[in-house]
Structure 1
């Protein structure tokens, strides 16, 4: 079997199962474990998967560009937003990151809710700027146009000086062992500081984002207080239950 054919078989198995193991692929493709290990390393360098000990896991299938994500899985995001609303209480300081899931929550916040919202998201600010009961703090910095958020030193410093009650984190990839990860380095650093500056972190993750990983670590799974998803019965959530994470 040619190397390109092995690559395609590995990707096919990954699409079916979200994860693959060296020994299983070795048996399936009739080549040595060392050959499979080299194949996975090369596919990782190509950005096709995430190599981990003993095999590989998939990247998230969700689009990364904010505009492409706006209408993607919109009903699931509305469902998650409804579950998030009871977590809000008057007087809280809350961090919203730049995800489309957090934007869905911003759209759904009750008019009589008194909050301070800190965010680096231009779309979130646009939604909340007319809300008289919400004090909006916007993090300056360099524009990351793909996500319509600010990133960089000034953004990180802003969130380091904050002490928030909750952080609502839009998730690109979430894995029980590999934690919350992101495809962009600068954005991952901002998200990391957001979690460190909050008493509790709420991860907003549609089912297809579970058991996937990207190159840059945001935080380990045990730093998450609550996972909000559109299907709380998904078997991929079992490892998070075992970690004591609340799942809504």
Structure 2
């Protein structure tokens, strides 16, 4: 079997099973594990999968630029954001992460709802400028342009002073085994710190993030108290998430 044919079949296995193991693939294709590892390395370089210890997981499609991500899974993000907005109550302190799904959240928040938003996203802060009853606290730091959010030591210092009711977290991958992941190390650290300052963390997982993984772990999936997904999400995947004690809401 030629290498391109084998790699195409690996992708098919990945789509059907949600993960692949190097040892099993070497038996299936009757080649060495070194050959399989080389295949996975080349496919990861092409952005086709995410390598993990012993095999690979589906790569998240949510790692493009901010403007490009605004065009990905638009209907899914809209439905999820609408459902998530209903979790906000008057008087709460709510952390809103940066990202295209959380930006969509602003379109579904009632203009007459009084609460406080803490965010490290200038985009989110500006989007709330015309909400007369929403107080906005903007966390500063070094601008990570890919996601248009503040990161670094300054941001971490400010985060340590927050006590919030809710944190709406954006991720690039949600996988029962790999957990919550994103494409940048510093951003993963910021998200983990924000989750530690909120009584409840709500993860917004649009279609392209479900059962996918990126390079940097935010943490185990149980960091999320609640996961908001699109209606029709794979039932086996939902069951695997719920077995870990995470509440799942769908639009």
| TM-score after normalising by structure 1 | 0.90
1:56 and 1:63 map into 2 onto residues whose CA distance is 17
**Cα distance change on mapping 1:73 and 1:233 into 2, 3 Å:** closer
- Give the corresponding residue for 1:22: 22
Moved more, 111-120 or 25-34: 25-34
Q: What pairs with 1:184-195 in structure 2 (closer than 5 Å)?
A: 184-195=184-195
- Give the corresponding residue for 1:245: 246
Q: Which runs of 5+ in 1 are unaligned?
A: none
- Give the corresponding residue for 1:122: 122
* TM superposition shift of 1:170: 1.3
- Can you list the C-alpha shifts for 1:112-158, whole angstroms capped at 9, x where unaligned? 21111011112211110121210000011111122111111111211
SS in 2 for 1:132: coil
* TM superposition shift of 1:208: 2.8
1:31 and 1:124 map into 2 onto residues whose CA distance is 50
Q: What pairs with 1:164-203 in structure 2 (closer than 5 Å)?
A: 164-203=164-203
Assess if the C-alpha contact under 8 Å between 1:79 and 1:230 holds in 2.
yes
**Cα distance change on mapping 1:234 and 1:14 into 2, 3 Å:** closer
Q: Which runs of 5+ in 2 are unaligned?
A: none
Assess if the C-alpha contact under 8 Å between 1:207 and 1:231 holds in 2.
no
| TM-score after normalising by structure 2 | 0.89
- Can you list the C-alpha shifts for 1:207-244, whole angstroms capped at 9, x where unaligned? 33122211111121111100001125422221111112
1:24 and 1:233 map into 2 onto residues whose CA distance is 27
**Cα distance change on mapping 1:135 and 1:232 into 2, 3 Å:** farther
- Can you list the C-alpha shifts for 1:144-187, whole angstroms capped at 9, x where unaligned? 12211111111121112111111001120011122111111121
2:24 and 2:32 map into 1 onto residues whose CA distance is 11
1:70 and 1:213 map into 2 onto residues whose CA distance is 19
Moved more, 10-19 or 175-184: 10-19
1:101 and 1:115 map into 2 onto residues whose CA distance is 20
- CA RMSD of the aligned region, Å? 2.2
Assess if the C-alpha contact under 8 Å between 1:207 and 1:234 holds in 2.
no
